[in-house]
């Protein structure tokens, strides 16, 4: 079961990651709906977190009750599997998004899926935390009716500042992913497009610091069509590029900011190294570029 599809908001993917982390932390053998509920609460800034905050939940209280819902397993598996109840909730979340006319799946839809299904241990956890399921649905609907959508909260700021060339690069990355029959664009696709976009200073900087396009192309050919790529990391790189541009007092986020952001993120650093890039030299050239 993969959640790398671009339909899922960044907050939704973070909540799913938190659910897995919690299951591993407490040595649970499965990831159930209670882990998902806790993961949503931990996804600060999300609509789901905003809704659950109204119930005045304390993190220590939440985790203590979650830990006791499942037995401690000495040899708990890494990346525990999802329960059938968890998968039902996710299917219901997709239904909720469809019925609301939304083209994405956010934490608000996951919450509605949890309430609608009543499956797994989330209902028990809600009772223990005095969370009213009817109120959850009412609070989510109130926010949605007010036009507060998670995808808007996440993307409005960064999309408004992306330069025209940056938007073309990101669109070309998505197109490249489709050509490889990968489920969504990841860092691999972004790097390939940046290296090929001759109108961008990023292409010249990569060429000057040893980038080997054939290495990246070979790696991408080896990936399976349903490979789980670094989609969440790509979102983080875009967000960091916007932050870097703003910190420099630039009113737009260019392809040079995208490349700079890649040098600041561990996964993309490793990708650059695999493609032959002299990381230290790239950092020096980027600093010189931004100081001119």
Nearest partner of 279 among 289, 290, 292, 266, judged by Cα: 266
pLDDT computed for residue 5 by the predictor: 53
Q: Which helix (H) or strand (E) holds 125?
A: helix 122-128
What is the pTM for the complete model shown? 0.55
Taking the C-alpha atoms of residue 234 and residue 208, their distance in angstroms, rounded to an integer, is: 23
What are the C-alpha distances in Å from 187 to residues 147, 148, 182, 267?
Answer: 31, 29, 12, 9
Nearest partner of 11 among 42, 37, 38, judged by Cα: 42
Distance of CA 26 to the CA centre of its chain: 23
Residue 162 pairs with which residues in a beta bridge? 253
pLDDT (tens digit per residue) in 158-200: 666 889 999 889 888 878 877 887 766 788 999 999 999 999 9
Domains in the chain with CATH codes: 10-153 (1.10.1780.10), 162-291 (1.10.1780.10)
Query: Which pLDDT band holds residue 229 (cuts at 50, 70, 90)?
Result: very low
pLDDT computed for residue 226 by the predictor: 46
Q: Torsions phi, psi of 82, nearest 5? A: -85, 145
């Amino acid at each position: 079961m993969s959640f790398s599809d671009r339909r899922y908001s960044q907050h939704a993917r973070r909540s799913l990651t938190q659910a897995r982390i919690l299951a591993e932390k407490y040595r649970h053998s499965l990831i159930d709906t209670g882990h998902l509920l806790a993961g949503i609460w931990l996804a600060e800034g999300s609509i789901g977190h905003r809704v659950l905050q109204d119930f005045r939940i304390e993190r220590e209280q939440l985790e203590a009750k979650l830990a006791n819902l499942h037995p401690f397993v000495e040899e708990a598996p890494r990346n525990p599997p999802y329960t059938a109840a968890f998968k039902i909730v996710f299917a219901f979340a997709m239904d909720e998004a469809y019925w609301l006319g939304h083209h994405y799946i956010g934490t608000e839809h996951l919450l509605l899926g949890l309430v609608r299904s009543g499956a797994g241990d989330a209902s028990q956890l809600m009772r223990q935390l005095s969370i009213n399921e009817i109120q959850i649905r009412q609070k989510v609907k109130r926010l949605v009716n007010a036009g507060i959508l998670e995808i808007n909260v996440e993307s409005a700021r960064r999309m408004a500042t992306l330069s025209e060339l940056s938007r073309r690069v990101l669109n070309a990355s998505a197109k490249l992913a489709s050509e490889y029959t990968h489920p969504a664009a990841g860092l691999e696709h972004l790097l390939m497009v940046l290296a090929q976009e001759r109108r961008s200073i990023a292409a010249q900087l990569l060429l000057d610091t040893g980038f080997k396009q054939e290495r990246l192309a070979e790696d991408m050919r080896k990936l399976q069509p349903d490979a789980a790529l670094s989609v969440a990391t790509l979102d983080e790189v875009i967000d960091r590029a916007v932050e870097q541009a703003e910190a420099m007092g630039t009113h737009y986020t260019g392809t040079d900011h995208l490349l700079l952001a890649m040098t600041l993120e561990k996964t993309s650093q490793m990708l650059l190294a695999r493609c032959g890039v002299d990381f230290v030299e790239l950092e020096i050239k980027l600093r010189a570029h931004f100081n001119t």
